[in-house]
Amino acid sequence: MKILFLIHIFIFINLDFVISDELTFDIKRAMDFLFYQKVSYCPSQSIEQWDCGTICKFHYDMKDVRVLTNSTNAAQGYIGYHNNYIVIAFRGTQLNKNWLNNFDLIKVNYPKCQKCTIHRGFFRTYIDLSDQMFTNLQDMLIKYPNSQIIITGHSLGGAVATIAAVEIQEFLQQQNKNNLIQEFYTFGQPRVGSQEFVDYFNSIFPFALRVVNNKDIVVRLPMRIFGYAHIGTEIWFDQQNNYSICQFLSEDPNCSIKLNTGSTSDHVKYLDNSTSCTEFDMQQNPQCYINGENICPHLSDNQVIEKTFLKQEIPIYDSPQKIQTSIQ
Ligand SMILES: *[C@@H]1O[C@H](CO)[C@@H](O)[C@H](O)[C@H]1NC(C)=O
Ligand SMILES: *[C@@H]1O[C@H](CO)[C@@H](O)[C@H](O)[C@H]1NC(C)=O
Ligand SMILES: *[C@@H]1O[C@H](CO)[C@@H](O)[C@H](O)[C@H]1NC(C)=O
Ligand SMILES: CC(=O)N[C@H]1CO[C@H](CO)[C@@H](O)[C@@H]1O
């Protein structure tokens, strides 16, 4: 790991773009964020009462939780107070075969920066939750004036977290607040917007970490050939579960982009744990589980993926080689 880290820094300097020479990855800390994120998939009442079994017990002393929810696009997230941090987490949603097949590529202008465009669907999902998010955030900042803010999300939730971070940063500046967004972790997030948007995001959040599990298909969407780029520094876990701290700025050719197939089961399993609220569901509906397999007809989105088409691998037509040919 040390060697990879050194290579990483070397690349920074080489590109004359020193961001942070202290960028490290701590699996334990990533696990904290994974579990913050997992709760966002639970039923809203169980989030509010912080009563979702082992998943909530992981951060048993979470306080003052407010659920962000909007039925328009089934968006959900929450804000809570934990260890002097205001935690903001967003869940992914409606991820099924249909979602992948009908993935729309439409971009809209993002007015905060020049030439910035972002995915319309991700922006809409963010907008669904933004009023509630700011009302609660404002309240929390009054209640906990010395707290810092940390943000996370999985899948679509990671895309929403990306937009939310930029918006919250601007809000903090406008309000002359000293609170900082201090940490940002996402798991299996898709690309959110244009390279200009990514540059803008990275200039504000050089510490953002984007965790990728092996062949996670969602990380490869929307494809780069349609003008989408990835934020942050990728932390890529390979098939053996060894991770690399990847090169910043563009997608590191030695990380997940080098693979030419994607997998949906890799999308719903991070750090050897499910990304969703499955454990809670198992406690609530034990009759539905035999050896950890859900046998009831109503499955969560993630389980539907795993059950139906997910064991298979899907070719990706966005490999570096392919891009080169299309540019020529
Ligand atoms: C839900 O989302 C819609 C569309 O973005 C928005 O108009 C509405 O205000 C949101 N509802 C709440 C309770 O925030
Ligand atoms: C990757 O992980 C495997 C098994 O966990 C280990 O044996 C191997 O040495 C690791 N490879 C590298 C390059 O770290
Ligand atoms: C990718 O890995 C190869 C082999 O380990 C190495 O030679 C090359 O420099 C790496 N490329 C980047 C951009 O890190
Ligand atoms: C906190 C927790 O449940 N972590 C689990 C993550 O996955 C590993 C491997 O399956 C388990 O050993 C941990 O208990």
Say which range, 60-69, 94-103, 213-222, 252-261, has the weakest mean pLDDT.
94-103
Instruction: Find the domain containing 261 and state its range.
Output: 2-327
Reply yes or no on whether the pLDDT at 203 is more than 70.
yes
Q: Residue 131 has what pLDDT?
A: 98
Q: Taking the model in full, what pTM does it have?
A: 0.86
When pLDDT is cut at 50, 70 and 90, the band that residue 299 belongs to is very low
What torsion, rounded to 10 degrees, do the Cα atoms 173, 230, 119, 76 define? -70
Across the range 275-284, mean pLDDT stands at 84
What are residue 229's DSSP bridge partners? 193
Q: Residue 105 has what pLDDT?
A: 81
Share of the chain above pLDDT 70, in %: 79
Q: Closest Cα partner for 219 from 182, 241, 252?
A: 252
The structure tokens listed for 86 are 């205001």
Query: Measuring from atom 5 of ligand 1, which residue has the nearest CA?
Result: 128
Q: Residue 72 has what pLDDT?
A: 79
CB contact burial 209-241 (16+ within 10 A = b; e otherwise)? bbbbbbbbbbbbbbbbeeebbbbbbbbbbeeee
> Which residue is associated with the tokens 């773009």?
17
- Beta-sheet strands, E only, within the chain: 63-70, 75-82, 85-90, 107-109, 117-119, 148-154, 181-187, 209-213, 233-237, 243-245, 261-263, 269-270, 273-274, 289-290, 293-294, 313-315
Distances (CA, A) of 145 to 19, 113, 140, 177: 28, 29, 8, 9
CA distance 149 to 129: 17
Q: Residue 29 has what pLDDT?
A: 97
Across the range 205-230, mean pLDDT stands at 93
Ligand nearest the Cα of residue 275 is 4
When pLDDT is cut at 50, 70 and 90, the band that residue 231 belongs to is very high
**Probe residue for ligand 4, chosen from 57, 211, 271, 273 as the CB with the greatest number of ligand atoms within 8 Å:** 273
Write the pLDDT tens digit of every residue in 238-279.
Answer: 999 999 999 876 789 999 999 988 888 888 889 999 898 888
Q: Residue 306 has what pLDDT?
A: 41
253 lines ligand 3 (CB under 6 A): yes
Atom of ligand 2 nearest to the CA of 238: 1
What are the backbone dihedrals phi and psi of residue 92, each rounded to the nearest 5 degrees, phi first? -80, 165
Taking CA 183 as the corner, what is the angle to CA 80 and CA 93, rounded to the nearest 5 degrees? 60
Q: Is residue 264 a contact partner of residue 305, using CB atoms and an 8 Å limit?
A: yes
**Which of 7-11, 78-82, 300-304, 305-309: highest mean pLDDT?**
78-82
Q: Number of structural domains, the chain?
A: 1
Across the range 85-99, mean pLDDT stands at 76
Reply yes or no on whether the pLDDT at 310 is more than 50.
no
When pLDDT is cut at 50, 70 and 90, the band that residue 112 belongs to is very high
Max Cα distance, the chain (Å)? 58
When pLDDT is cut at 50, 70 and 90, the band that residue 303 belongs to is very low
Write the pLDDT tens digit of every residue in 37-76.
Answer: 999 999 899 999 999 999 999 999 999 999 999 887 778 9
CA distance 83 to 185: 17
DSSP string, 207-246: T-EEEEETTBSGGG-S-GGGT-B--SEEEEE-TTS-EEEP
Q: Residue 317 has what pLDDT?
A: 62
- How remote is the CA of residue 240 from the centroid of ligand 2, in Å? 6
When pLDDT is cut at 50, 70 and 90, the band that residue 6 belongs to is very low
Ligand nearest the Cα of residue 247 is 3
- How remote is the CA of residue 95 from the centroid of ligand 1, in Å? 21
Q: Residue 80 has what pLDDT?
A: 98
**Probe residue for ligand 1, chosen from 76, 123, 131 as the CB with the greatest number of ligand atoms within 8 Å:** 131
CA distance 1 to 242: 9
Q: Closest Cα partner for 86 from 50, 156, 138?
A: 138
When pLDDT is cut at 50, 70 and 90, the band that residue 100 belongs to is low
Q: What is the mean pLDDT of the chain?
A: 83
- How remote is the CA of residue 237 from the centroid of ligand 2, in Å? 11
The CATH number of residue 156's host domain is 3.40.50.1820
Q: Residue 176 has what pLDDT?
A: 93
Q: Is residue 205 a contact partner of residue 183, using CB atoms and an 8 Å limit?
A: no
